[in-house]
Structure 1
Amino acid sequence: MLWQWLILIAIIVIFIGYTIGKMLYQRTYLKTLTQEEFIKGYRKAQLIDVREPNEFDNGHILGARNLPMTQMKMRKGEVRKDKPVYLYCQNGMRSTRAAAMLKKQGCKELYVLKGGFKKWTGKVKTKNA
């Protein structure tokens, strides 16, 4: 019985270590920006919404282009490596995964919107507007 508890504890420690390590590595290439910081820089960068097209059509940040996370592998060539990339999704999860993919492709300046689109209070464009 004791060895089962030791194995369980070891698995938990390994999982926590992996998670912390991943977060620390992510901080070396990805910067999370507040809305104010995001607004200051996104006009001089590639602004990419990684949500699905129906989400994008229902409202997106003015000037953003839609490159859904589900299509990122096929369309990664559409993202320039020599320009900053500002990413956002609904809450920040998909944009963080997209940033990891773009990092592997050679993008160096990667930024994500803290809290994602659901926290955005700036200008929004809809398909009908």
Structure 2
Amino acid sequence: MSEFLDLPNGIPSDDTFRRVFERINPQELERALQQWLQPLLGSLVGEVVPIDGKTLRGSYDREKGIKALNLVTAWASEQQLILGQNSVGDKSNEIRAIPALLELLDVTGAIITIEAMGTQTEIAGKIQEKKAD
């Protein structure tokens, strides 16, 4: 570790990492990561970009009444990178989360694949609006 970072007081504790992560604005972090990733990613023309929803196992808390976290993810197949994720609201579903995710991404020229639940007129329109197939 010393070849990357001088830590004269040792490795920070998990509490220190938690406090740092609590102060990070998730939207700003996402925006910064997208700006950093875009030059590495390049063009998505002709690339298959699957969009799929998944429920994260074990992310629920029965005692507090917190339901499991559902995410919709866009995946760049060739680069093997997640382009973006969007959480599905408690009283919502993937049909509403997919257009919101597409709004965040530059998928110009990409071939978008979605399972049957996502084959909605509004979603197809958003894909065309974003100049993807």
Do both share a fold (TM > 0.5)? no
User: TM-score of the superposition, structure 1-length normalised?
Assistant: 0.25
Q: Which has the higher contact order (CA 8 A, sep 6+)?
A: 1
User: TM-score of the superposition, structure 2-length normalised?
Assistant: 0.25
Q: Per residue, is there more helix in 1 or in 2?
A: 1
